[in-house]
Structure 1
């Protein structure tokens, strides 16, 4: 292709990504699962655009989470693997990186990756509000830039169901979803909702200018079934 053709192709790809991005934020997970299951090529188009966006960031939150988990296992081998559930895994980069880790000749991680379409053999296609895992089997549940849709409370309740009582929930999200021009701290409101859904926030990391990281544990309270919430959609700029 000529330079001009490549430019037009990039614009079309970016436009398609923004349309799909806004659609994912404004529909339920059930609707999104049905739509993408019927049209898996849309999933490829979305993630092509998403990868392009993340490449422009100074750091990818997936890399931060991977490093945190690697530090957790250290250099000592354990017979018990750390069971991880990656909700909204995309092309399973978290699993790809963690399954390469070796401690004394053995990988310390077992990763279950879930998304709307099985883009590779590491991914299980499903609705994120209903993943094929038993209750209380997961050590770490992760939502990395994947809290999309109008039924986010269902996702968090599902993470609570699958997590062991000693498990951790890690959330990475774009900062703009919790910031407003008025100066209101909408992240606090989000953390308050998570408390009603059974999680206590034990660490908030706002050191990165693009995204915020939350580390949470179960607070001993059952998730309230009547709670519903959504966060502001992440709308990417048109170029």
Structure 2
């Protein structure tokens, strides 16, 4: 081949390389053939993990799940203990370890969040429909939401509390004076095996014609499933010195009883109290 032919071949080679560069301007010249002949590679593992990261942050970690499970387990144990011991034992339990009370109430609030209606809200509405001059004793007040939502003077009573407004004591022995309150409230708080002693204390502190309001879980009054007969329960409270004004069983989760203290009470000994079925939460 003469010099003129070599020159033409060289020009054709340069034109071919320029055409390839035009198609892949970002790639270096020597990589063009491999780029066009090898199949596309999967994304780099690091990039794949980074892409998945935003979704993984929305999922609870294993430790978070374990904390929830442990917290729920502690609540169930404490709850069962409160239903199967007397008030003095429960008082000493929380006195020796006040943190247990926080664990219990955190679990209690979580359980209540699933209820379509809160019994304490019904009692709050009832109080708001009556005179604000009525003095109230809230037995087993929890976080004292009753006192925080009405204008009445409320004595909030419970086994332990960090709130200085709450009277800390065994509910069967309160520091309230005889015949000093107009309304006694038990909202899901007849838990101890000696619950009749709590009602006896309510009778002591209530004025004649004073109100006794009781809200309790429906299952505790289901005779067909091991619960107490609600009629026998009302009969026992009648013998204690109260008259049943009304009973609200419209809510599927709880019953509401409205009693009034009799003006003249004949002392009845050896009242036969029905056993209230403990409200034990199943493990989820």
TM superposition score normalised by structure 1: 0.88
Deviations 1:160-215 (A, max 9, x none): 00000021000000000000336987111111111121111110000100000000
Query: Which secondary structure state, in structure 2, belongs to the residue aligned with residue 11 of structure 1?
Result: helix
Let me know the Cα RMSD of the aligned residues.
1.9
Q: Provide the C-alpha distance between the structure 1 equivalents of 2:204 and 2:272, rounded to a whole number of angstroms.
A: 17
Question: Which consecutive unaligned segments of at least 5 residues does structure 2 have?
Answer: 1-58
Q: Provide the C-alpha distance between the structure 2 equivalents of 1:138 and 1:224, rounded to a whole number of angstroms.
A: 23
**Counterpart mapping for 1:150-169 below 5 A:** 150-169=193-212
User: Hey, what does 2:90 align to over in structure 1?
Assistant: 32
Question: Which consecutive unaligned segments of at least 5 residues does structure 1 have?
Answer: 99-106
Structure 1 225/86 Cα, relative in aligned 2: closer, same or farther at 3 Å?
Answer: farther
- Aligned equivalent of 2:234, options 176, 191, 214: 191
- Aligned equivalent of 1:70, options 99, 107, 128: 128
* Corresponding position: 1:3 with 2:48: no
Structure 1 223/58 Cα, relative in aligned 2: closer, same or farther at 3 Å?
Answer: farther
Structure 1 201/9 Cα, relative in aligned 2: closer, same or farther at 3 Å?
Answer: same
**Counterpart mapping for 1:42-191 below 5 A:** 42-73=100-131, 81-98=133-150, 107=151, 109-181=152-224, 186-191=229-234
Query: Which secondary structure state, in structure 1, belongs to the residue aligned with residue 90 of structure 2?
Result: helix
User: Hey, what does 2:56 align to over in structure 1?
Assistant: none
User: Hey, what does 1:104 align to over in structure 2?
Assistant: none
Query: 1:153·1:227 contact (CA, 8 Å) conserved in 2?
Result: no
Q: Provide the C-alpha distance between the structure 1 equivalents of 2:134 and 2:63, rounded to a whole number of angstroms.
A: 47
The number of equivalent residue pairs is: 224
Query: 1:86·1:114 contact (CA, 8 Å) conserved in 2?
Result: yes
More strand by proportion, 1 or 2?
Answer: 1
TM superposition score normalised by structure 2: 0.75
User: Hey, what does 2:283 align to over in structure 1?
Assistant: 238
RCO greater where, 1 or 2, for CA within 8 Å and sep 6 or more?
A: 1
Larger Rg: 2
Farther-moved stretch of structure 1 (178-187 vs 47-56): 178-187
